[in-house]
Structures are given as structure tokens and as C-alpha cells.
Amino acid sequence: MPQKLKIVYYVEPDAQALATRAAEYFVEVAERAVAARGRARIAISGGSTPKAAFALLADPAQPWRARMPWEKLDLWWVDERCVPPDHPDSNYRMTREAMLDHAPVRPEQIHRMEGELEPETAAARYQSELRKSFRLEGAELPRFDGLALGMGPDGHTASLFPHTQAIHELRRLVVANHVETVRDSWRVTLTWPVINHAAEVFLLVGGEDKAQILQEVLIGPRDVERLPSQLIAPANGILSLLVDRAAAALLPAPDAQGCGMLERNW
């Protein structure tokens, strides 16, 4: 059945402005969730734009630090590289260094994927943690209040890489995924039905090298094997895209406020 997706995009002039917009967005998502449900369960990705946004969020000289409802936050990961938590490639390490070491969050609010374990074990353990924390029954999916994604120049999002097993997974919440194209490595990732079930999904994309693929993902024909980012179609029908001018170069020009909209009917 065709599913209508509205893609709302906000174009910022450069990487710094994009990080600023992302920090603002993180705080707004958390504020909305806390106002509605008393807590904010947020899932985050790795990558350069989130890193800059995380540093802004934790910076006492910036306005977001005081606004973020830190004590009501539950932080989860969208994906992790299969390395120990102190490894330079670890998404957890990046987040800890950029934000968690400088922010008032307690260890029990932080739910990291255990990249140091055997990949299938790490995925199974994360799935159990999700089921327990979200009190899931049967085939229920967890609903994150906010879920932040990035996109690679090959069209991957989360650790759903082109032509890999994980893009076919419909049943499990979390899987191990072998990625030949990234140094033959393993990743652990949320599956796309879980991603799409989040209350708010936002995609952060910056840089010239993403312009072509972003256009293909959003406007091109459906080809999810080659462009797994096309699997992202949140259940609420809206995907928010925070993007810099370089990455948005091939999208329809935004309005005077830097805002654009696309509709997709598949």
C-alpha cells in the first residue's frame, strides 16, 4: 500500500549553523516529550553533525544546557560499531566525550550498545534491554520520543548499509550487521521498523558529498537495496530533515525562512 511521507527540510548556511539547529531540535524534542509524558526517551546516532550538536548541548556558555531536561532524559543508541567503548570509533565514546562527561546525567539514564561483545550477543542484549525498559509485550515495538539519524554518502542510515542483511529484518528490534564496505566490520543497529515507530524522527545531513545521494534518496525512484535511507518513513508520516546548504544543493530551493517540503507517495 502506498505510504504518504511528508519530508520537511530546514536548510542552514553551514556546518556550524546546522549543529546549532540540531542542538535546538534535540532540546525541543525533549521538551515536547517531557511535557506530554514526563520523560524523554531519545535515540541517537554517531557522526560528525551530532557530535557538534552534543558539544553545544553540554556547553554551559550556550542556552541549551540550561533548557535540556537532563534528569528526565533516557538516552539510547540507534547504532554502534563493534569496538570497545573506549575505542576511537565507538559512538558511545564520541557521545561521552562530547556531551555525557559534561552534563548532569546519571549512568542509569544511559543505555549503550555493548560494541565490545560478539555482535549477535550485543544485539540480543540490547533487544532485551529495550523490551524490559519499554515493557514490551509480544510483537510490540518501542516508541522513542525522538530519534536522530545521519546519512552516509553511500545512502546508509543507522547501520543499515546498502545490500546488507539488516535491511531485510522486519521482526527483531536490534540486529548485528556485517558491513563489507566498511573495512569488513560489524555493527549493531536498530531495525527500520523500530526507527519508523519513533514519535519524531529527524535526519541530520551536512556536506557537499551528500548532495547527490540526498537527492536520490528523497526524489529518486525507490531502490531500498542500494539506498537504505529510503526505508525511513516514520509512522507519523513526517520526516524532519536538518541540512546544510551544501547537502541541500540539489533539492528544490527552500522558502525565505530556509524551509522546504517534499511529498513522497510510494
- Provide the binding-site residues for ligand 6PG, judged by CB under 6 A: 45-49, 78-79, 81, 91, 150-152, 156-158
- 8 Å CB contact between 54 and 64: no
Of 129 and 154, nearer to ligand 6PG (C-beta) is 154
Of 13 and 63, nearer to ligand 6PG (C-beta) is 13
Q: CB 23 → ligand 6PG: shortest distance, Å?
A: 15
Cell reading at 19:
549543529
| SS3 assignment, position 254 | coil
Of 58 and 78, nearer to ligand 6PG (C-beta) is 78
Of 81 and 197, nearer to ligand 6PG (C-beta) is 81
Nearest to 178 by CA among 129, 130, 120: 120
Q: CB 74 → ligand 6PG: shortest distance, Å?
A: 18
Q: CB 151 → ligand 6PG: shortest distance, Å?
A: 6
Of 90 and 127, nearer to ligand 6PG (C-beta) is 90
Q: CB 37 → ligand 6PG: shortest distance, Å?
A: 25
Q: Which amino acid is at 111?
A: H
Of 71 and 225, nearer to ligand 6PG (C-beta) is 225
Q: CB 248 → ligand 6PG: shortest distance, Å?
A: 15
Of 47 and 162, nearer to ligand 6PG (C-beta) is 47
Compute the distance between CA of residue 102 and CA of residue 249 in angstroms, rounded to an integer: 35
- 8 Å CB contact between 80 and 86: no
Determine which helix (DSSP H) or strand (DSSP E) holds 263, and give its type and residue range.
Answer: strand 259-265
Question: Strand 110-111 vs strand 73-77: parallel, antiparallel, or unpaired?
Answer: parallel
Neighbours of 177 (CB within 10 A): 24
83: number of CA atoms within 13 Å, CB side?
12
Sheet containing 40-44: order of strands: 110-111, 73-77, 40-44, 146-150, 201-205, 238-244, 4-12, 259-265
Q: CB 148 → ligand 6PG: shortest distance, Å?
A: 8
- By beta-carbon distance, which residue lies closest to ligand 6PG? 150
- Angle in degrees, 0-180, between the axes of helices 48-58 and 15-37, rounded to the nearest 10: 60
Neighbours of 96 (CB within 10 A): 18
Q: CB 72 → ligand 6PG: shortest distance, Å?
A: 24
